[in-house]
Amino acid sequence: MKSFTTYSLLALLFISFESESADSRNDFKPRKMKTNKEKAIAINKAVQSGDAESAAALVTENYIQHTPNVPDGKGGLRILVTKIKNKEIPAPKINNVRVFEDGEFVILHHDVNWPNRKAMFEIYRFENGLAAEHWSGIADHPETTVNGHSMVDGPTEVADKNLTQKNKEFAASCMQTVLINSQFDKLSEFYHPDIIQHNPFIDNTVPGLLKGVEELQKKGISIEIKKIFKVFGEGNFTLVCSEGKFAGKHTAFFDLFRIEDGVIVEHWDVLQEMPEKMAHENGFFKASLYKRIGGYDAIAGFVDLAFPRVSVHPQLQKYFIGHADNSKYRQRQLIIDKLVSTLEGPTIYLGRPLDAVHKGLNITAEEWNVFMQILTHAMDERGIAGDVKQDFVETFQNVFRSVTVESEMSK
Binding site for ligand HEM (CB under 6 A): 316, 319-320, 331, 334-335, 338-339, 351-352, 354, 357-358, 361, 363, 367-368, 371, 396, 400, 404
Residue type, 40: A
CB of 318 to ligand HEM, least distance (A): 9
3-state secondary structure of 210: helix
386 Rama class: left (phi>0) / alpha (psi -120 to 50) / beta:
left
CB of 282 to ligand HEM, least distance (A): 26
Q: Tell me whether residue 142 or residue 301 sits nearer to ligand HEM (CB atom).
A: 301
Neighbours of 257 (CB within 10 A): 27
Rounded Cα distance between 228 and 184, Å, is 18
Rounded Cα distance between 243 and 179, Å, is 11
CB burial class (10 A; 0-12, 13-18, 19+) of residue 399?
middle
Q: Tell me whether residue 298 or residue 357 sits nearer to ligand HEM (CB atom).
A: 357
CB of 411 to ligand HEM, least distance (A): 20
CB of 286 to ligand HEM, least distance (A): 22
CB of 329 to ligand HEM, least distance (A): 11
Q: Tell me whether residue 329 or residue 380 sits nearer to ligand HEM (CB atom).
A: 329
According to DSSP, the residues that pair with 231 across neighbouring strands are: 240
Residue type, 53: E
Q: Tell me whether residue 275 or residue 295 sits nearer to ligand HEM (CB atom).
A: 295
CB of 364 to ligand HEM, least distance (A): 9
Q: Tell me whether residue 86 or residue 317 sits nearer to ligand HEM (CB atom).
A: 317
Q: Tell me whether residue 201 or residue 396 sits nearer to ligand HEM (CB atom).
A: 396
Rounded Cα distance between 19 and 23, Å, is 12
| Nearest residue relative to ligand HEM (C-beta) | 351
269: Cα within 13 Å, side-chain hemisphere: 24
